[in-house]
DNA sequence: CTGCGGATTCACAAACTCATCATATCGAGG
DNA sequence: CCTCGATATGATGAGTTTGTGAATCCGCAG
């Protein structure tokens, strides 16, 4: 198939939240996030490089790339005998950035909560009334 | 279960892209996006209101709320006999905003492409070699 | 045209997610 | 203590996504 021509029922009149959920589905897999991170790092990455970076076998990688294409998160272009991928829009990278920020916040918060409860067993060492 | 205490293997040393993918999984369902949009619209929404806004039956709604909690996208608090939900961090709303921007871009682009190809059938009227 | 390496698609079993219905919990009031 | 309304959890079948290997396609060199 021409790498530039997946279509996914675009012309839809679906409610916006459904379309959004669909986009998030495209992001909802570790390997696909990994791939997008690599693409965000340098625009125009050949499949060969992605294979190296992810350690996936061609078929598996290609399927995830197809998912990303269908969700319009990346675009591909064939030049000579190699296919190059890049993010379809810079906003995709932004999505990853916000996600990381969010992650860090959640992590910090849960560490706070953790250390708070972890300090409990130490109480025996502190001054005790009596 | 105490609505404030779902835990999802936090202390993990998983690669960051896996954790990110997990967060996107939490967003990858139309009803959950809908719920988050409602929560983004006014902080502190009672379940009753969410039920009204989404038209879901209690059990179904509750399950999606549980997913959102596990993914640390929302937090809940019980006061008197009602449970109130709100976004866990403002960044969650930002995620939705960026998603919408991205969506609009993708839509515009595909409309351009559409009108471009729709003009093709008219070619027969133009000058043809020979 | 033929062969080749790069990349994609097919086919299908295994794993996961969703919707639904039944059951259980929590807190307020009687 | 018992019941009621508000929420949450469990169990289950249906539907969807994923991983793997075989087969196919596409451009190019010979």
Could you report the per-residue pLDDT of B21-73, keeping only the tens digit for each?
Answer: 999 999 999 999 999 999 999 889 999 999 999 999 999 999 999 999 999 99
Residue A9 pLDDT class (50, 70, 90 cuts): low
- Give the percent of chain B with pLDDT over 70: 76
Position A129 in a domain: no
Position A42 in a domain: yes
Could you report the per-residue pLDDT of A96-124, keeping only the tens digit for each?
Answer: 999 999 999 888 877 776 666 555 444 43
B88 or B124: which leads in pLDDT: B88
**Dist CA A86 CA A37 (whole Å):** 11
Domain that holds residue B60: 16-117
The domain total for chain B is 1
Judge whether B87 and B36 are in contact, CB under 8 Å. yes
Whose structure tokens read 């998160």? A73
Instruction: Look up residue A120 and give its two tokens.
Output: 């409990």
Position A77 in a domain: yes
- What is the enclosing helix (H) or strand (E) of B84? strand B82-87
Is the shortest CB-to-strand distance from A31 to strand D under 7 Å? yes
**Dist CA B111 CA A49 (whole Å):** 32
Position B92 in a domain: yes
Name the interface residues of A facing B (CB cutoff 8 Å): 10-11, 15-25, 27-30, 32-34, 37, 72, 88-89, 91-92, 94-96, 98-103, 105-107, 110, 114
- Name the residues in B48-107 having a C-beta closer than 7 Å to nucleic acid strand D: 48, 51, 58-59, 61-63, 65-66, 76, 81-83
Is the Cβ pair B103, A23 closer than 8 Å?
yes
pLDDT of residue B110: 73
Judge whether A117 and A37 are in contact, CB under 8 Å. no
Position B126 in a domain: no
Shortest alpha-carbon distance between residue A124 and chain B (Å)? 25
pLDDT of residue A10: 54
Compute CA distances B102 → B30, B36, B73, B105, whole Å. 17, 18, 21, 5
- What is the enclosing helix (H) or strand (E) of A118? helix A90-118
**Residue of A23, A36, A47 whose CA lies nearest to A87:** A36
CATH number at residue B105: 1.10.10.10
**Dist CA A76 CA B98 (whole Å):** 22
Whose structure tokens read 């953790």? A114
A119 or B84: which leads in pLDDT: B84
């Amino acid at each position: 198939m021409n790498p530039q021509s997946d279509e996914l029922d675009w012309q839809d009149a679906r409610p916006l939240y459904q379309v959004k959920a669909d986009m998030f589905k495209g992001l909802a897999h570790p390997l696909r996030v990994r791939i997008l991170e690599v693409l965000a790092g340098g625009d125009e990455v050949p499949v060969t490089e992605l294979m190296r970076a992810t350690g996936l076998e061609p078929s598996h990688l290609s399927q995830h790339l197809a998912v990303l294409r269908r969700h319009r998160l990346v675009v591909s272009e064939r030049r000579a005998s190699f296919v190059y991928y890049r993010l379809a829009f810079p906003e995709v990278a932004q999505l990853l950035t916000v996600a990381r920020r969010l992650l860090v916040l959640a992590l910090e918060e849960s560490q706070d909560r953790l250390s708070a409860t972890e300090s409990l067993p130490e109480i025996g060492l502190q001054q005790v009334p009596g």
